[in-house]
Amino acid sequence: MSTPEESDPNVRTPPIVHTRAYQQELLEESMHRNLIIALDTGSGKTHIAMLRMKHEAERGSKKVSWFIAPTVALVEQQYEVIKTAVPVSVGLVSGASEPNQWKDASLWRKILSTHQIMVTTPQVLLDALHHAYVDLGTDIGLLVFDEAHHATGKHPYNMIMKNFYSPLPLVLTLADRKIVPIYGGNVDAAFRDLENNLDSTIRSSRKNRAELAQHVYRPEFKHVLYASPIHSWDDLPSQNYKALQAVVDALDIENDPYVISLRSRLARLQPGDDRRRLDQQLSKAVDKEGTFSHRGLRDFARAAADICVELGPWAADWYVAKVIERAKQAANPYNNIMSAWQEKEKRYLLNILSKVHVIMPPDQPDSIVNGISPKVRALIDTLIIEEGLFRSRDEEYSGLVFVTRRDTVLTLAELLRRIPETAELFRLGCLLGTSSSFRRHSFLDITREMLEETQADTLRDFKIGDKNLIVSTSVAEEGIDIQACGSVIRFDPPPNVVAWAQSRGRARRKRSSFIIMFEKTGPQKVLEWEETERQMMAAYNDPMRDAILSLDEDNLDDMDGYVEYEVASTGALLTLHSAIPHLNHFCAVIPSGGHESHVPLYDLDPPDYVAGWHSLPYRLQMPYGGPWGATVTLPRALPKHLRKFTTPRIHRTKRKAEQHVAFEAYVQLYKAGLLDNHLLPLSTAIEPDKKEEVEAMLAEVAKRASTARVSIQMDPWAISEDASTWFVHDLVVQGFPTLRMLARRTLPQFAREDFPVLYIPKHGEAMFTISPAKPAPASDDDVRRAREYTHRLFYMIYGSRMDRDKLDFSYLFLPDSDWPGEAVWEERRQWQADRRAMGQTSQSEGPYAASAAALGEQFSYPKDLAIIRGIGKADKPLRHLGWRYEALSPEEEEKFRAQYDAYPDLEISYPLIVVRSLPRRRNFLIPFTVEKTDRRWFLPPDDMPFLLHPRYATVELASKNELQYALMLPSVLRWLANALTVDAVRTNLFSENPVAETSLPLLLTAITAPAAQELSHYQRLETLGDTVLKFITSNQLYAEFPLWHEGYLSRKKDHAVANSNLAKEAVKKGLYKWIIRDRFVPRKWKPHYTTLIQSPSDEGVDEQIEEERKVPSTVENDKDDKKKKHHAEELSTKMLADVVESLIGAAYEHGGFDLAIDCTKRFGLGISWKKLPERIEEMHKVEDLDDLPEQLALVELMLNYQFKRRTFLVQALTHASYQGDSAVMSLERLEFLGDSALDMVVTDYLYHAEGKNYSPGYMHIKKEAAVNSHILAYTCLNASVVVESVMPTWTPEHGLTTSDDSQRVHLWQCLLHSSHRVLEDQNLTFARFQKHGPEIARALREDSIYPWAALTSMQAPKFISDMVESILGAVYVDSMGSLDAVRDVMRSLGLMQIVERVVVDDVDVLHPVSRLAIWAMKQDPKKKIEYKVEKEKGKVKCTVLMDEEELLHVQASYRSRVSEDEVRFTAAEQAIRKLQVLDIDPDDTIPAEDEGAVEGGNDWGNVPE
| pLDDT per position as a tens digit, 1161-1208 | 999 988 999 999 999 999 999 888 877 888 899 999 999 999 999 999
d(CA 502, CA 504) in angstroms, rounded, equals 5
Average pLDDT over residues 14-22: 65
Residue with the larger pLDDT of the pair 441 and 223: 223
Phi, psi dihedral angles at 1240 (to 5 degrees): -65, -45
Closest CA to 754 of 728, 776, 772: 772
What is the predicted pLDDT for the residue at 721?
80
What is the predicted pLDDT for the residue at 1148?
96
The lowest-confidence range among 54-63, 375-384, 1361-1370, 1374-1383 is 54-63
d(CA 425, CA 397) in angstroms, rounded, equals 10
Average pLDDT over residues 748-764: 91
Q: Does 169 sit behind a cis peptide bond, omega within 30 degrees of 0 on the bond before it?
A: yes
The lowest-confidence range among 362-376, 559-573, 1175-1189 is 559-573
Residue 707 has pLDDT above 50, yes or no: no
Reported as a single tens digit per residue, the pLDDT across 858-896 is 999 999 999 999 877 567 899 999 999 999 999 999 899
What is the predicted pLDDT for the residue at 593?
66
Average pLDDT over residues 1484-1489: 40
The lowest-confidence range among 66-80, 438-452, 684-698, 871-885 is 684-698
Reported as a single tens digit per residue, the pLDDT across 787-818 is 999 999 999 899 888 888 889 999 999 998 88
Find how far residue 1001's CA is from the centre of its chain: 37
In one-letter notation, the amino acid at residue 622 is: M
**Which percentage of the chain shows pLDDT scores above 70?**
80
Residue with the larger pLDDT of the pair 834 and 499: 834
What is the predicted pLDDT for the residue at 1100?
39
* Residues 160 and 145: beta-carbon distance below 8 Å: no
Residue-averaged pLDDT of the chain: 80
* Residues 1011 and 1490: beta-carbon distance below 8 Å: yes
Residue with the larger pLDDT of the pair 37 and 1100: 37
Indicate the DSSP class of residue 813: E
What is the predicted pLDDT for the residue at 498?
63
Residue 190 has pLDDT above 60, yes or no: yes
What is the predicted pLDDT for the residue at 113?
83
Q: Round to the nearest angstrom and report the end-to-end CA distance of the chain.
A: 61
Reported as a single tens digit per residue, the pLDDT across 1294-1325 is 766 666 667 889 999 999 887 878 888 888 89
Residue 582 has pLDDT above 70, yes or no: yes
Residue 1287 has pLDDT above 70, yes or no: no
Reported as a single tens digit per residue, the pLDDT across 509-552 is 667 888 888 887 555 666 666 666 666 666 666 655 554 444 43
Residue 718 has pLDDT above 80, yes or no: yes
Reported as a single tens digit per residue, the pLDDT across 1398-1437 is 999 888 888 888 888 888 888 888 889 899 988 877 788 8
**Which percentage of the chain shows pLDDT scores above 90?**
32
pLDDT band for position 1484 (50/70/90)? low
What is the predicted pLDDT for the residue at 501?
63
pLDDT band for position 187 (50/70/90)? low
Residue with the larger pLDDT of the pair 555 and 1283: 1283
What is the predicted pLDDT for the residue at 456?
76
Average pLDDT over residues 360-370: 89
pLDDT band for position 1038 (50/70/90)? very high
What is the predicted pLDDT for the residue at 730?
94
What is the predicted pLDDT for the residue at 584?
85
Reported as a single tens digit per residue, the pLDDT across 420-451 is 999 889 989 888 765 443 344 455 456 666 77
b/e burial code for range 305-334 (CB count within 10 A of at least 16 → b): bbbbbbbbbbbbbbbbbbbbebbeebeeee
What is the predicted pLDDT for the residue at 1101?
37
Residue 1238 has pLDDT above 90, yes or no: yes
1166: left (phi over 0), alpha (psi -120 to 50) or beta: left
Average pLDDT over residues 681-708: 38
The lowest-confidence range among 74-78, 453-457, 531-535 is 531-535
Average pLDDT over residues 577-596: 80
pLDDT band for position 1288 (50/70/90)? low
d(CA 126, CA 156) in angstroms, rounded, equals 7
Count, residues in the chain: 1505
What is the predicted pLDDT for the residue at 631?
93
Residue with the larger pLDDT of the pair 104 and 552: 104
* Residues 1279 and 1198: beta-carbon distance below 8 Å: yes
Residue 1106 has pLDDT above 60, yes or no: no
What is the predicted pLDDT for the residue at 41?
66
The lowest-confidence range among 512-526, 785-799, 1033-1047, 1055-1069 is 512-526
The lowest-confidence range among 73-87, 734-748, 950-964, 993-1007 is 73-87
Q: How far is CA 1189 from CA 1193, 1211, 1212, 1222, 1389, in A?
A: 9, 11, 12, 10, 21
d(CA 534, CA 329) in angstroms, rounded, equals 54
What is the predicted pLDDT for the residue at 1275?
95
